[in-house]
Structure 1
Amino acid sequence: MNYHPSTHTPLTFHDRTQAFLDGGDSPRDYLERCLDTIARREPVVQGWVVLNEAGAREAADASARRYREGRPLSAIDGMPVGIKDLIETRDMPTQMGSPAYTGNFPKRDSAVVRALREAGAIVLGKTVTTALGFLDPGPTTNAFDPERTPGGSSSGSGAVVGANMVPVAVGSQLVGSMLRPASFNANWVLKPTYGGMNRGERQGFSQSHVGIHAGCAQDMWTTSIEIVRRVGGDPGHPGLYGEAAPPAGRKPARLAVLETEGWERLDAASRAAFEAALERIAGQGVRIVRRADCSLVDGLERAIAQAGALSMRLISWEHHWSLKNMAEQHPGTLGPSLVRQLELGQAMTLERYRHDMLEREAARQRLAALATQCDALVSLASSGPAPRIADLRGTPYPTGDYSFSCVSSLLGAPAISVPALGVDGMPVGLQVIGQPHGDEQVTAIGRWLHALLAAPR
C-alpha cells in the first residue's frame, strides 16, 4: 500500500443524510454499497464474525421510510454499524473470540447497542475481537496490508472501518484496544473519559472503556453523543459532556508532548514523522511543551513509566477468578496470553493490588496538575505503523506494542486517535489526550490537527 492521509478517502455517513431526505440516496442503497464492499474485501480482511444481512436490510428499509416522511429518529438514523464481539446483541451470538464461548447467545442488547437501535442505526454484524479482549489474536488482517496486524483487541472494528466496509464500529479498550487498531487502520476513534459511555454488562474492570471507531471525526462524535444521550455513562458517572453537533476544529495554545515508555522503542521513521508534525504545529504558533521544559510533564512521564506493566497487574488481579473458572470449565481454551494473565493474577496479592491502585491514582493526580499548563497532551497512538504478523509471533505483543496506547486507559482520560500521519506507506495515528470530561475539547483539537497535518502540501 501507499497510504497517505491527504489522499485517503474514508467512508463517511453524516454527509449522506441530506440526500436521504431529498430522495437522491437512501439508507438501503447506502447499506447495499457497504455490503458490496464487504463482499469484495472481507475474504482478505476477515474482520467480521457474523453478519445479519436480512435484519440490516429490514432496518434500512424502515429507516428509508422515516426519511421519506421527513422524520428520521436521529442524525445516525440509517447508519450501518459493526459491534465488537465482546458486546451483547439480541440478534447475534456474542462469542468473545474464545472457543469457550462458541454459540454463546445472550439474546439481549448491551446498553450501547440498545441506544444505537433506538437512534435508528443499523446493527450490521459482530466484529472480530482478540480472545476475551486480551492479546491472543483472531484471523483479522490490516485494512491496508494483509501481512500486517490490525492491532487489538478491537481488531475487527478497526479493520472494517479502515477498509470502508462501514462508517462506524463500536470498540472497547482495557489497555490499548481501540487506539492501537485505530492508528494501524487509519480510523478516528474516541476512547472516552472513564465511565463516559455506558459499558452495559462489561463493567468488570476498573479501567475498561467502550468507544467509537469511525472514518471521520463528525461520525465519531455524533455517534458517541447519540449513544450517551440515550443510555448515559456507567452508573455513578455523568456520561459524555458536549453538544450534539460535532465541535469545530480548535487551535490549542499549548500542547505537551508525552513520550511514554515506548519512546525508546520507536523506530526512526515514526519518530521523524512525529517530530515533523510537531514542527508544523509549532509553526502555527502553538507552544510545544516537552518534559525537559516542564517539571510537571516530567513528573507525569515518571508516573507512567511502567504504565503497561501496571495496567496488566491491575486487570490480571481483577479477572483471575474468572479465568480460573474458565480454565476449569473449558480446559484447553485459554490461549498463551490468557494463561500468562491467569498466572500473573494468581501471583498477585490484595496488598499488591491496593499498592497498584495508589500508583495509578498518583499518575492521575500528575495529569490533573497539568490542567493549567497545556490544553492537551499529544503523542503517537501506536509505536509506529502496524508490524508484520509474522514478526509478532512469540513476542509479548502479538497485536503490537501497547505502550503508547495504554496511558489514557490508566489515567481514565479521554483520548482520540487522529489519522494524520503516514509512515512507510502505512497509517499512524496522532494521539490527543485531555483531562477527564474534556472529550469535546480533545475532539476539537484533533480536528484542527487533522486539518493542518493531513491537508495536501
Structure 2
Amino acid sequence: MAAKRIPAADPAALGAREAAWRIAEGAMSSAELVAACLARIDAEEERVQAWVFLDRDKAMAEAEERDRRRKLGMPLGPLHGVPVGIKDIIDVKGMPTGNGSPIDAGRMPLEDAALIRRLHAAGAIILGKTVTTEFAYFHPGKTRNPHDPSRTPGGSSSGSAAAVACRMVPLAFGSQTNGSVIRPASFCGTVGFKPSFGAIPRTGMLTASQSLDHVGLFARNLEDMALAEALMGPDGRDTGAGASPGPLTATALSEPPVAPALAFIRTPAWSHAEEGTVAAFAELVAALGDRLDDVELPEPFARAYGWHRAIMTAEMARNLGHYVDRAPEQCSDKIRDLVAEGRGVSAPDYLGARDMAPVLRSSLEALFDRFDAIVTPAAPGEAPEGLESTGDPVFCTPWTYLGLPALSLPLLAGPSGLPLGVQLVGAAGQDARLLRTARWLVRLLNEEVPA
C-alpha cells in the first residue's frame, strides 16, 4: 500500500530527521524539500548572506535521483534526500573551497573530504558552501545575524549557523578550534553540537590546529544531532580521529534511567558574562533547584586559557604561516598578528600546554562520576552589535582545549530578546549521554527547541 502523503505547510521548516522520514515514507519528495530550501534562500540571502557558493542545478538533479532510488525500493540512508550546508573550509569535489580568503578563491578540490563522503553515503545532498571567517579565525565574513542583521552571527562557522537559523537548510556543518560552533549557535538561536575530539574525521578540511580542530554541526532541534552518528569513526587518514562515541540515536532519544544530575560551573571566565546573562542563568539555576549543584573548578583550570592559546597560535602559525609569507597584503591584520604570535611560542611552552590537557581531563573524571553534564553559558551574552567582531569564545575555550563534547541549546533570551545559549558539556567520549541529558533538560524546562 502506498504511504499516505502528509504535506508539510513549509518543507523548509522541517528538521533533518523528520524530513528524512517524510521522504522515506513518500509523504514528501526530496525535490520538494530542496526546492523549498532554495526558495527560502532566494527570500533571505540578500539580508543574511550565509552562502559563498550554491549549486542549484546539481542539488535538484541529486534530489530527483534520491527520489528515483526510493521509488525503486533501494536502501536509504538516515539523511536520504536531505540538503545540508558545508562550511567553506571543507572540501567538496566540484565546488570551490576558498577558506574565507582571497588567496584561495576559486580553489577546486580534487576529492571529497571524509565528512562529505559519509554524508553522501547517508543520502544527504550538498546544497552549497557556507561563509567562514578568514581561515576559520576571527576576521569576519559577509554573513549577518538573522535575528538582527546589524549584529554578528558569530564565527567562525558564521554561514552555517545563520543558514540553519533562518531555515535555508535543516542541517549544516562547521568546525571549532575555540568557540566556532557553540558561539554562533548561541548568537543565532540554533542547536549547536561539538562532538568529542576526533569523533568525526577531519580529512579534507583546512587544518588550523591539529590538536584542537573539531567538526561540528548545527540544527534546529536537539534530536537531529543524533544523526551525527552516521559520520563518526576513524577514516584511516586523520590521525586524531578516534572511535565513534555512539550509538547516539538509541541513547540520545531514550529516557534517562534516573533524572540526571547537573553541575553549574561559572568557569574562571564568569567576569566576562554580561548582566543579562548573569540574570538569565540565575533564573535557570532557580528553575532547576536541587537538580543542579554549584561547582567550582580547581585552580589549574584558570590556566587552561593560556595553554589553549599557546597550542592554537603555534599550530596555526605552522599551518597558515605560508599564506602570510607569500601574500601578506591579502591577509588580514588578525591573521598576520596570529602568525607572528604563534611563531614566538617556545617549544617548552607548547609541549607543556599539550601535556596539561590530559591532566585536566583526568581531573574531571570524579566530577563526571557524580554529574551527567556541566551547565555553563555558551557565550558572554547576546550577539554583539556591529560586524567587525565575531564575539568572545571565552566560555568555550576550556572545553575545546580538553576535547569534551558540548552543546548549545537556545533556551534563554537576553535583554534585547535575542538568543542566549545554554551550554552543556559532557565527559570525553560520552556524547550519547550528553545528548540524552540535554533532551531531558529541554523537556523539564517545558521549552520547545525550534523544529
Distance change in 2, residues 1:39/1:263 (3 Å): same
Provide the residue aligned with 2:226 in structure 1: 221
Would you say the 8 A contact 2:410–2:420 is kept in 1? Answer: yes
- 1:40 is displaced (CA, Å) by 0.5
For 1:93, the equivalent position in structure 2 comes to 96
Aligned to 1:259: 266
1:153 counterpart = 2:160: no
Partner AA of 1:226 in structure 2:
A
Q: Distance in 2 between matches of 1:252 and 1:208?
A: 33
Tell me, in whole angstroms, the C-alpha distance in 2 between the residues paired with 1:368 and 1:314: 23
Q: Give 2:284's match in structure 1, choosing from 271, 277, 280.
A: 277
Equivalent residue number for residue 26 of structure 1: 29
8 Å Cα contact 1:307/1:403 also seen in 2: no
Describe the SS at the equivalent of 1:49: strand
Rounded to whole Å, the distance in 2 between the matches of 1:34 and 1:152 is 23
Task: Give, in angstroms, the shift of residue 234 of structure 1.
Answer: 4.4
Separation in 2, partners of 1:166, 1:91: 20
Tell whether the 8 Å contact from 1:233 to 1:240 is kept in structure 2 after alignment.
no
Distance 1:414 1:403, change over 3 A: same
1: CA distance, partners of 2:421 / 2:154: 12
Structure 1 residues without counterparts, runs of 5 or longer:
1-8, 292-296
CA change 1:156–1:306 in 2 (3 A) is farther
2:177 matches 1:174: yes
Give the AA of the match of 1:263: W
Paired position in structure 1 for 2:319? 322
Per the alignment, in what secondary structure is the counterpart of residue 173 of structure 2? Answer: strand
Contact 1:179 1:416 survives alignment (8 Å): yes
1:445 and 2:445 are equivalent in the alignment: no
The answer for the alignment partner of 2:143 in structure 1 is 140
Conserved in 1, the CA contact under 8 Å of 2:405 and 2:431?
A: yes
* Residue type at the aligned position of 2:361: R
Partner of residue 4, structure 2: none
CA distance in 2, matches of 1:278, 1:314: 34
Q: Shift of residue 357 of structure 1?
A: 1.8
Is the CA contact (8 Å cut-off) linking 1:308 and 1:402 kept in structure 2?
no
Would you say the 8 A contact 1:88–1:109 is kept in 2?
yes
Identity of aligned pairs, percent?
33
Shift of 1:358: 2.7
Task: Decide whether the 8 Å contact of 1:273 with 1:421 is kept in 2.
Answer: yes
Does the CA contact (< 8 Å) of 1:256 and 1:374 recur in 2? yes
User: CA distance change for structure 1 residues 434 and 19 in 2, over 3 Å: closer, same or farther?
Assistant: closer
Is 1:387 matched with 2:411? no
Contact 1:175–1:308 (CA under 8 A) maintained in structure 2: no
User: Contact 2:233–2:243 at 8 Å: present in 1 too?
Assistant: no
User: What do you get for the CA RMSD once the two structures are aligned?
Assistant: 2.1
In structure 2, give the amino acid aligned to 1:200: T
For 2:140, give the aligned amino acid: P
SS of the residue aligned with 2:369? coil
Moved more, 263-272 or 134-143: 263-272
Task: Kindly provide the amino acid, as one letter, of the partner of residue 219 in structure 2.
Answer: A
Assess if the C-alpha contact under 8 Å between 1:92 and 1:107 holds in 2: no
1:150-207, Cα deviation, whole Å (9 max, x unpaired): 0000001111001110000011000010000111111112201111111113455101
Distance, in Å, in 2 between the alignment partners of 1:256 and 1:19 is 38
Cα distance change, pair 331–28 in 1 and its aligned pair in 2 (3 A): same
Kindly tell me the number of residue pairs found equivalent between the two proteins: 431
Q: Which residue of 2 aligns with 1:63?
A: 66
Counterparts of 1:203-352 in structure 2, within 5 Å, are: 204-222=209-227, 224-228=228-232, 231=235, 234-235=238-239, 237-245=242-250, 246-250=252-256, 252-282=259-289, 285-286=290-291, 288-291=292-295, 297-299=296-298, 302-352=299-349
Native 8 Å contact 1:241 1:440 kept in 2: yes
CA shift for structure 1 position 42: 0.7
Which whole-Å deviations, capped at 9, do the CAs of 1:304-358 have from their partners, x for residues lacking one? 3244443222111113233332122123122121122112112111011112223
Is the contact between residue 261 and residue 306 of structure 1 (CA under 8 Å) also seen in structure 2? no
| Pairwise CA distance, 1:378 | 0.8
Contact 1:37 1:164 in 2 (8 A): yes
CA contact (8 A) 1:112 1:231 kept: no
Query: For the structure 1 residues 358 and 10, does the alpha-carbon distance in structure 2 shift closer, same or farther, using more than 3 Å as the test?
Result: farther
Residues 1:345 and 1:22: Cα distance change in structure 2 (over 3 Å): closer
> CA shift at 1:79, angstroms?
0.6
The residue type paired with residue 272 of structure 1 is: A
How many Å apart are 1:359 and its aligned residue?
3.1
Residue of structure 1 in register with 2:447 after alignment: 455
| Structure 2 stretches lacking a partner, 5+ long | 1-11
The alpha carbon displacement at 1:230 in A equals: 8.9
Matched, 1:355 2:347: no
The 3 A distance-change label for structure 1 pair 18 and 237 is: closer
Give the partner amino acid of 1:446: A
For residues 111-130 of structure 1, the aligned pairs below 5 Å read: 111-130=114-133
Deviation larger for 78-87 or 232-241: 232-241
Aligned structure 1 segments of 4 or more residues deviating by more than 6 angstroms = none
TM-score of the superposed pair, with normalisation by structure 2:
0.90
Q: Distance in 1 between matches of 2:313 and 2:66?
A: 43
Q: Give yes or no for contact 1:416–1:433 (8 Å, CA) kept in 2.
A: yes
Rate the CA distance shift 1:347–1:37 in 2: closer, same or farther, 3 A.
Answer: same
User: Which letter does structure 1 place at the counterpart of 2:229?
Assistant: I
Q: Is the 2:59–2:127 Cα contact (8 Å) retained in structure 1?
A: yes
Q: Which residue of the partner structure matches residue 6 of structure 1?
A: none
Matching residue of 2:3: none
Q: Distance in 2 between matches of 1:230 and 1:307?
A: 28
1:252 and 1:430 map into 2 onto residues whose CA distance is 19
Moved more, 423-432 or 47-56: 423-432
Question: Matched residue of 1:370: which SS?
Answer: helix
Q: Give the TM-score, by structure 1 length.
A: 0.89
Residues 158 and 181, structure 1, Cα contact 8 Å, conserved in 2 = yes
> Structure 1 CA distance, aligned partners of 2:367 and 2:301?
14
Instruction: Please state whether the residue corresponding to 2:428 is helix, strand or coil.
Output: coil
